[in-house]
Amino acid sequence: MWTSLIQYADYVWLAVRTNPESSGAKKHRGISVLIVPTTAEGFSWTPVHTMAGPDTSATYYSDVRVPVANRVGEENAGWKLVTNQLNHERVALVSPAPIFGCLREVREWAQNTKDAGGTRLIDSEWVQLNLARVHAKAEVLKLINWELASSQSGPKDAGPSPADASAAKVFGTELATEAYRLLMEVLGTAATLRQNSPGALLRGRVERMHRACLILTFGGGTNEVQRDIIGMVALGLPRANR
């Protein structure tokens, strides 16, 4: 489930269990990573429609076979690869660029739109506060991402630390949800109209971004689990009971 952009893909990055006997109580053991061509016999997929707009997919593997040359890394050592790539994904999930883009458009709209009393919306204190909160937190997200990117000067397979990646993911995804909500408040009730709907503001871009960013709070690992990782790795707290 949840294989993104499969309609454009030539290959699938697939984690498979290659040694069931070695797993025991530790489910992360005995896993290998394979590169599977989407043209492989027995491979198929179906779309999964989401509230965010863009579809994801479910993929199916019916007696699919690939050569050993398609294995990434060592056999039964796939868990390290998976977690390393997840850490990269968690940092990259939320870019501040779309937030800044929507902020600029909403600010310009507020500068050129008046309320019923003839006052420019940008001159209202609450509008200024909403825009300022979005700007300030988006700048923090940009600095966090730059810091993590600039720190990757060690071994090529090191990647960001799990705690740093999880912190960036939690902050970024929850900021995005808040930022687009604050911008929609400035636009008013018409902000809920989707793209191509009569009366949609700014081509429905802010509404679409708000809807799309909600999935990011659990994509790449739920934020609740990320907080557990931060607590265990960065703060030395015991593992949460689940």
Tell me: do 156 and 218 sit in the same domain.
yes
Residues 11 and 119 in one domain: no
Residue 200 lies in a domain: yes
Regarding whether 121 and 184 lie in a shared domain, the answer is yes
Residue 29: which domain range?
A: 3-74
- pLDDT of the residue at 26: 76
Per-residue pLDDT of the chain (242 residues; tens, 9 = 90+): 778 888 999 999 999 998 887 656 577 888 999 999 999 999 999 998 887 776 789 999 999 999 999 999 999 989 888 888 888 888 888 999 999 999 999 999 999 999 999 999 999 999 999 999 999 999 999 999 998 888 776 666 567 889 999 999 999 999 999 999 999 999 999 999 998 899 999 999 999 999 989 888 988 889 999 999 999 999 998 887 77
pTM reported for the whole predicted model: 0.84
How many domains does the chain divide into? 2
Which tokens belong to 66? 């690939």
Q: Note whether 60 and 93 are same-domain residues.
A: no
Supply the DSSP string of 117-181, one letter for each residue. Answer: TS-BGGGSHHHHHHHHHHHHHHHHHHHHHHHHHHT--S-TTT-S-HHHHHHHHHHHHHHHHHHHH
Residues with catalytic roles: 89
Cα 123 to Cα 134: distance, rounded to the nearest angstrom: 17
